[in-house]
Structure 1
Amino acid sequence: MAVTIDDIAKAAGVSSATVSRVLNNSGYVKDETREKVLKAIKELNYTPSAIARSLSKKKTNTIGVVVPEINNPFFGEIIKGISEVADEHNFNLILCNTDEDIKKELRALKLLKEQRIEGILITPTSTDSDYSSEYLWTIENLGIPVVLIDGHVKYSNFNGVFVDHIKGAYDAVKTLIDEGHEKIAIITGRMNSRPARERLAGYKKALKLHNIPIKEEYIFYGDYTHEKAYEITKKILEMKDRPTAIFVSSNMMVLGCIKAFSENNIEIPKDMAIIGFDKVEVLNIIGMNISFINGPTIEMGKIAMKMLIDILNNSQATDTKTINLSPQLVLKGSEKYVR
């Protein structure tokens, strides 16, 4: 049976209020009385409830983190950055994974609010859906600070940290063009997400500025999953006038492309060049050199957590703050044009 504050009070011969003051280090308690309470706590092996203490102080030191793909290394590194800063400032984290499902995200947001968290860091699922109005109402009425991480909420004005997706995509496609590629395909992410739209815009910008016609047949609409990219890549390889290079809009989709290449004996870059967006660490481990756009993921998590802490410490601030980080192109040879 769990030991309660009343049990401690009875053993020490004091009131429950006195025990509470000792536990929370608040209010005056005589040294002699404090010693009695501490002795009773030790003898009864009492462990105070973190939740009860936080409720008494009206502060939980807990932050909610909501991501759409916990199995994606991109979000794993963001969480790592968040965690490092949270540990430095004695914050706890509650992590929720939504599987890109807005209904799950709505449930997560409502659950976190019930947990009396102090703020939320979130990469939102797209709100271009039947639930968009309910979603916006839910997130705006949490009553706590919200910081977005590389994802936007339509018709809202939240603080956030973002990657310059247009620049990243432009740099990737320009590199392919500089290598001599003119037939360049793109596999996009879900087009109801802003990063996917911006990466497609960067792709088109690079082609246009280098006087290369934009061909709709080279634009393939993916969904960020390796399964969809695998199916798309098989179709690309069957094209009569197939491209010589593919710009792939996410790290997980790169894996789908490589699977299709392997099954069809396609060598990189001899038979097909490729550049992805965000790194795939497993490819480095097995020695497969795939060029990629490197988003500053750990740094993004750190900055987002620091931004949230600043908001919590300056509750009177009303200005919305957004930070855009520039991604870096990492070339490993898969972008080459082998004539």
Structure 2
Amino acid sequence: MAVTINDIAKEAGVSRATVSRVLNDSGYVKDETRQKVLKAIKELNYTPSAIARSLSTSKTNTIGVIVPEINNPFFGEIIKGISQIADEHNLNIILCDTDENMEKELKALKLLKEQRIQGIIITPTSAETEFNSEYLRTLENFGIPIILVDGHVKYANFSGVFVDHIKGAYEGTEALIKAGHRKIAIITGRMNSRPAKDRLIGYKKALKIYNIPINDEYIFHGDYQHEKAYEATKKILKMKDKPTAIFVSSNIMILGCIKAFREEKIHIPNDMAIIGFDKLEVLNIIGMNISFINGPTIELGRTGMKMLIDSLKNKKSREIRRITLLPDIVLKGSEKYIEK
């Protein structure tokens, strides 16, 4: 039989209200009385219900985390960073995956609101260019801190932590140029997202600074998934004046490129050079040395969680804070230019 507050009160010889004050750390209780209650809790092996506690305090010791692609290692690393800081502050996490679907995201937001969470860390879907009045109204009327992680919401202004995608794409393209490439293609991400737009800007900026004409035929639009990257790579390999290198705007899309390379018996970097954005650990496991832009993924999660905790501690402050983290580049040889 489950131990109740009544059982603890009886064991300690105090009222239910006193036990409740000790459990919720609210109101004054004599130290001697508190010790009696704590002793009774220990002896009866009582575990307080988080749900019951939330009903009495109107909140839980829980935060919500919403990501668009839980199967993407990029978001796995972000979640890891969030968890590290959450654990340090004894906070629990409810994780929601939206599959890049705004309706699923809206459903997740409503679910989290029902759970009486303290705050939300969210990487929004491509809401920057899509407008949904119900979605925006739900976010703005939440009444708890919301922290964005590497994603933007159109017509809204929230605190958040972001990656300098322009810098990352610039440095990736520059590395290919410095290796000797002049014909460089790009496979972009989904173009209704800010990171994809910024990465294309960075790519074009590098070409412009190094006086290389921008060839629109070398710009292929992907969607962060490997299928479209595979199709784009197939097209690239069939071009009459094909590029000698490809800048790939996400880690998952690299897999699509590699699949196409293998089918066409293309060797990296002898036949085609390549650089990706964000690391993909599986490539290291199978021994493929692919150069990549190293986004600070774990630090994104850690910083976002720290910002949320700061917001919880300073509830009266409405200051919007935006932190930008810088990526770096890891060159492993796949960017080299092999003269034919």
Matched, 1:287 2:287: yes
Partner of 2:63, secondary structure, is strand
State the identity %.
Answer: 71
Aligned-pair distance for 1:237?
A: 1.1
**Which amino acid in the other structure matches residue 135 of structure 1?**
Y
Residue of structure 2 equivalent to 1:94: 94
Q: Extract unaligned runs of 5+ from structure 2.
A: none
Residue correspondence of structure 1 range 209-224 to structure 2 within 5 A: 209-224=209-224
Residue of structure 1 equivalent to 2:28: 27
Number of equivalent positions: 338
Q: Please tell me whether the aligned partners of residues 22 and 29 of structure 1 are also in contact (alpha carbons under 8 angstroms).
A: no
Q: What is the alpha-carbon distance in structure 2 between the residues aligned to residue 300 and residue 308 of structure 1?
A: 12
Per the normalisation by structure 2, the TM-score is: 0.92
Residue correspondence of structure 1 range 139-158 to structure 2 within 5 A: 139-158=139-158
Residue of structure 2 equivalent to 1:192: 192
Matched, 1:84 2:84: yes
Q: What is the alpha-carbon distance in structure 1 between the residues aligned to residue 31 and residue 211 of structure 2?
A: 82
Aligned-pair distance for 1:284?
A: 1.1
Partner of 2:274, secondary structure, is strand
Per the normalisation by structure 1, the TM-score is: 0.92
Q: What is the alpha-carbon distance in structure 2 between the residues aligned to residue 18 and residue 294 of structure 1?
A: 53
Q: What is the alpha-carbon distance in structure 2 between the residues aligned to residue 186 and residue 33 of structure 1?
A: 65
**Which amino acid in the other structure matches residue 29 of structure 2?**
Y
Q: What is the alpha-carbon distance in structure 2 between the residues aligned to residue 329 and residue 12 of structure 1?
A: 62
Q: What is the alpha-carbon distance in structure 2 between the residues aligned to residue 191 and residue 126 of structure 1?
A: 9
Matched, 1:160 2:160: yes
Residue of structure 2 equivalent to 1:240: 240
**Which amino acid in the other structure matches residue 100 of structure 2?**
E
Residue correspondence of structure 1 range 29-108 to structure 2 within 5 A: 31=32, 35=36, 38-39=39-40, 42-43=43-44, 45-108=45-108
- Of residues 314-323 and 113-122 in structure 1, the stretch that sits farther from structure 2 once superposed is 314-323
**Which amino acid in the other structure matches residue 28 of structure 2?**
G
Q: Please tell me whether the aligned partners of residues 121 and 147 of structure 1 are also in contact (alpha carbons under 8 angstroms).
A: yes
Is the alpha carbon distance of 1:42 and 1:288 closer, same or farther for their aligned partners in structure 2, counting shifts above 3 Å? same
Q: Please tell me whether the aligned partners of residues 8 and 41 of structure 1 are also in contact (alpha carbons under 8 angstroms).
A: no
Partner of 2:83, secondary structure, is helix
Q: Deviations over 1:30-52 (max 9, x none)?
A: 95797489548744x54321222
- Of residues 80-89 and 273-282 in structure 1, the stretch that sits farther from structure 2 once superposed is 80-89
**Which amino acid in the other structure matches residue 81 of structure 1?**
G
Partner of 1:240, secondary structure, is coil
- Of residues 235-244 and 193-202 in structure 1, the stretch that sits farther from structure 2 once superposed is 235-244
Partner of 1:306, secondary structure, is helix
Residue of structure 2 equivalent to 1:296: 296
Aligned-pair distance for 1:161?
A: 0.7
Partner of 2:121, secondary structure, is strand
Q: Please tell me whether the aligned partners of residues 249 and 277 of structure 1 are also in contact (alpha carbons under 8 angstroms).
A: yes
Is the alpha carbon distance of 1:31 and 1:286 closer, same or farther for their aligned partners in structure 2, counting shifts above 3 Å? same
What is the alpha-carbon root mean square deviation over aligned residues?
2.2
